[in-house]
Amino acid sequence: MSTRRNPQPALRIAGLSLGLLLASAAVHAQNYTPLGSSSSTFGPTYFAFNAGTADLSRPITAFGVFGGQQQGQAYGVALGNYFVGTNYGVEVSYADFGSVTRYGGSSKVDGINLSLIGRMPLGDSFNLLGKVGSTYSRTTVTTDSANANLAGSERGFDWAYGVGGEYKINANWGATLQYAEHFVKYPTTGSERISSTTFGARYYY
């Protein structure tokens, strides 16, 4: 039987993300002076690549003679755009949360996310980042015969949010560290939380 999630940590992170977005919306875009550049500024549109780890510990039950892994390799790409003259915008991204061994088979999750994004400048070289949106996830679970009732696939929308930081390298490039949580659909347990911690690079144009 699956152990249901405690909503309090999720609500705190979502609140932090939303607060950052609201604060960012109140801060007018500045003419950035990235390190190594005396005149160029970040463009409003960026392409990003991220890689790191995903926590697929929910659902946590992996009974029978088989154990269960919790960590997967996370990869993702994103296209974002900040509205002209502001520090907030929209981002569409694809994330692969990897595959873990569980129930004598495997659990694999990926999804497409659409989010509102915000940034809060901290000096000339750093931004705080936040995002709130929804992920359309695809989950596929295979098992051994003893756990066949847990196998299947599920798709659907649920919410997602994240926080992070960005270091501005030069006029076009930024390096990011981000933490995000996505609620994804599993065949028999409903929505469960997946978290990811990723390093990434953004190219602005």
pLDDT tens track for 83-118: 988 999 999 999 999 988 877 788 899 999 999 999
The DSSP code for 189 is T
Predicted TM-score (pTM) of the model is 0.76
What was the pLDDT predicted at 114? 98
Cα 8 to Cα 14, 38, 63, 190: the distances in Å are 10, 45, 27, 18
pLDDT band at 18 (very low <50, low <70, confident <90, very high): low
Structure confidence at residue 2 (pLDDT): 41
Question: Cβ(156)–Cβ(171) under 8 Å?
Answer: no
The token duo for 167 is 């270091």
Q: Indicate if the pLDDT at residue 196 is higher than 60.
A: yes
| Residue 8: pLDDT band with limits 50, 70, 90 | low
Per residue in 32-75, pLDDT (tens digit) is 433 333 334 578 999 999 999 999 877 655 444 455 567 889 99
Tell me which H or E stretch contains 21: helix 7-26
Write the pLDDT tens digit of every residue in 115-170.
999 999 998 899 999 999 999 999 998 887 777 777 889 999 999 999 999 999 99
The domains of the chain, with CATH numbers, are 7-204 (2.40.160.20)
| Residue 34: predicted pLDDT | 39
* Token output for 127: 């931004």
Q: What's residue 183's pLDDT?
A: 94
